[in-house]
Amino acid sequence: MTGATRNTDPVRLGIIGTGLAVEKLHWPALKRMTGQFQVTAFSNRGRANAEHFASYSGTPMDAFVADYQDLLRRDDVDAVLISLPIPLNYPVTKDALDAGKHVICEKPTGANATESDAFVKLDGQYPGQTVLIAENWFYRDDLRFTRSLLDDGAIGRVHLASWRNVGQLVPREGEFSSTPWRQDAEYVGGPHLDGGVHFIAQMRLLCGDAKHIAAETQDANSIFAGPSDMTLNINFVSGAFG
């Protein structure tokens, strides 16, 4: 459009929660996007974690606030990255939107179905504000390429899909499995609500929305709360089975 200008200033980002996900996932990405994002504030309940973040990111401790509500009141924060234990995802996201901030929030959308439904509805309740769930598998190049082949009709459509994931869920120092809130989960589904949403994102990207779901679970892990094993059968709207 004639006369239109594009704002090239970086987004002023506040980070709420500076734990393992920020250190291992988000900060490495933010380092590569210094022209797009500038961290102007960060919040964490524990000062030690905050000081650790400041040390590896080079962000001054002057930008630290202990209470995330104080971060949300700052005028130098356009958007927030929320990286907190699962039960905090929905309430903190709503607080951020109420404060007029754009939101990038770690998956999943809530600690239970009620919260997740409420989270999805937030997108239509705050016109002009962006709400994004950081589900990285939905943006994987290989899955997007496969989706494009399906859309183009190059490989037909999905009739039957099978996924199998087997892993060892044991605490390891410095790894996500060592996080106390994951071991004593205050949310339904245990590890399936945490890591399992990646596989759901993959299934939905390639097969579409689910029409009917049936599942069986068992709890065979004495360390982590919630079911450790799950068998899931899905009928998709597209006609595919998985």
- Total domains in the chain come to 2
Which residue, among 82, 86, 103, 81, has the nearest Cα to 192 in the 3D structure?
86
Structure tokens belonging to residue 34: 């210094």
Name the residue range of residue 165's domain. Answer: 141-236
Residue 40: CB partners within 8 Å, gap ≥ 6? Answer: 12, 13, 14, 63, 74, 76, 77
pLDDT score of 120: 94
**Claim to verify: residue 200 and residue 220 sit in the same structural domain:** yes
Q: How much is the pLDDT for 68?
A: 98
What is this structure's pTM? 0.87
pLDDT value, residue 179:
75
| Residue range 51-60, pLDDT digits in tens | 999 999 999 9
- Asked which of 97, 114, 134 is the last residue of a domain, the reply is 134
Strand partners, 103: 80, 131
Report yes or no: 105 and 132 within 8 Å, Cβ to Cβ: yes
Predicted pLDDT of residue 5: 40
Question: What residues in the chain have per-residue pLDDT under 70?
Answer: 1-7, 177
In a domain, 241, yes or no: no
Last residue of a domain, one of 134, 161, 176: 134
Cβ(11)–Cβ(37) below 8 Å = yes
Domain membership flag for residue 47 = yes
- 5 domain-assigned: no
Asked if residue 188 lies in contact with residue 180, where contact means CB atoms within 8 angstroms, the answer is no
pLDDT tens digits along 83-133: 999 999 999 999 999 999 999 999 999 999 999 999 999 989 999 999 999
| pLDDT value at residue 66 | 96
Supply the Cα-derived Rg of the chain in whole angstroms.
20
Domain boundary among 89, 110, 134: 134
Nearest to 26 by CA among 132, 134, 103: 134
Domain at 127, CATH number? 3.40.50.720
pLDDT of residue 203: 93
74: alpha, beta or left, given left = phi > 0 and alpha = psi -120 to 50?
beta
Is 100 in contact with 79 (CB distance < 8 Å)?
A: no
**Predicted pLDDT of residue 7:** 63
